[in-house]
A and B are shown apart, each in its own frame.
Chain A
Amino acid sequence: GENVEQHPSTLSVQEGDSAVIKCTYSDSASNYFPWYKQELGKRPQLIIDIRSNVGEKKDQRIAVTLNKTAKHFSLHITETQPEDSAVYFCAVLGGGGTSYGKLTFGQGTILTVHP
């Protein structure tokens, strides 16, 4: 099955700095890669996603890059703010067959933005 590795597990930055979180995956047939933000006790909230026919996508301070050849994708947050503090999860959607519809999540990154 799909294997998703996420790094780092914790990330501490100063307000205004950039934050980068990286994920690798194993199934080359996977073609949809969302990122979720989860605050304590809350639901995972989709913040950005990318499909395999695109190499980069940006939404204001958040961007995601995808390297299908190397099977890795990254979340970039610029000009971080204290309210960006949360746990961030990458995920990979199964590429087909028995994995169709199934999201496999990374282990999560605890991001702390210090004022």
Chain B
Amino acid sequence: NAGVMQNPRHLVRRRGQEARLRCSPMKGHSHVYWYRQLPEEGLKFMVYLQKENIIDESGMPKERFSAEFPKEGPSILRIQQVVRGDSAAYFCASSPPMGFGDTQYFGPGTRLTVL
């Protein structure tokens, strides 16, 4: 059973470009979460999605950031017009469709560098 997969693993963008980060949850998992980890800091929640639904986006910056989890295909975290402060590791996690209090398993992360 493959774990959570993320691609690309490393992404370099220039200021003003767009970054698209992809996450494929573990097989059988229908809940996806995105977290951001700034250098030498802890993980901060960004958004929680189920198929075709955003459940909680309280950690998402109001502008430039968006997320989706379509019926088919991976979850996408999209950052428009990137700035240097967006440089961070972005981790995706997934959990099974059992509802409340389920364990979240993390992917290997995408390390975004904005030049």
Q: A102-B48, A103-B45 are in contact. Are A43 and B106 (CB under 8 A)?
A: yes
Whether the pair A43, B45 counts as a contact (CB closer than 8 A) is no
Q: Which B residues are CB-close (under 8 A) to A103?
A: 33, 35, 43, 45, 93, 104
Q: Which A residues are CB-close (under 8 A) to B43?
A: 44, 89, 103, 105
Whether the pair A43, B108 counts as a contact (CB closer than 8 A) is yes
Whether the pair B107, A102 counts as a contact (CB closer than 8 A) is no
Q: Which B residues are CB-close (under 8 A) to A108?
A: 41-42
User: Closest CB-CB distance, B91 to chain A, in whole Å?
Assistant: 7
Give the residue among A44, A100, A105, A106 with the most B Cβ atoms within 10 A.
A44
Q: Cβ of A65 < 8 Å from any Cβ of B?
A: no
Chain A residue at smallest Cβ distance from B59? A102
User: Closest CB-CB distance, B40 to chain A, in whole Å?
Assistant: 9
Instruction: Tell me the bound Cα distance from A93 to B31 in angstroms.
Output: 14
Q: Which B residues are CB-close (under 8 A) to A44?
A: 43, 91, 106
Whether the pair A49, B103 counts as a contact (CB closer than 8 A) is yes
Whether the pair B59, A43 counts as a contact (CB closer than 8 A) is no
Whether the pair B106, A98 counts as a contact (CB closer than 8 A) is no
Complex partner residue of A45 from B33, B42, B101, B106, CB under 8 angstroms: B106
B interface residues, Cβ below 8 angstroms from A: 31, 33, 35, 41-45, 48, 55-56, 58-59, 91, 93, 100-101, 103-109
A interface residues, Cβ below 8 angstroms from B: 1, 31-32, 34, 36, 42-46, 49, 51, 89, 93, 96, 98-108
Sampled A-B contacts (25; CB under 8 Å)? A1-B58, A31-B101, A42-B108, A44-B43, A44-B106, A46-B103, A46-B104, A46-B105, A51-B101, A89-B43, A96-B100, A98-B56, A98-B58, A99-B56, A100-B56, A101-B31, A101-B48, A102-B48, A102-B56, A102-B59, A103-B43, A105-B42, A105-B44, A106-B42, A108-B42
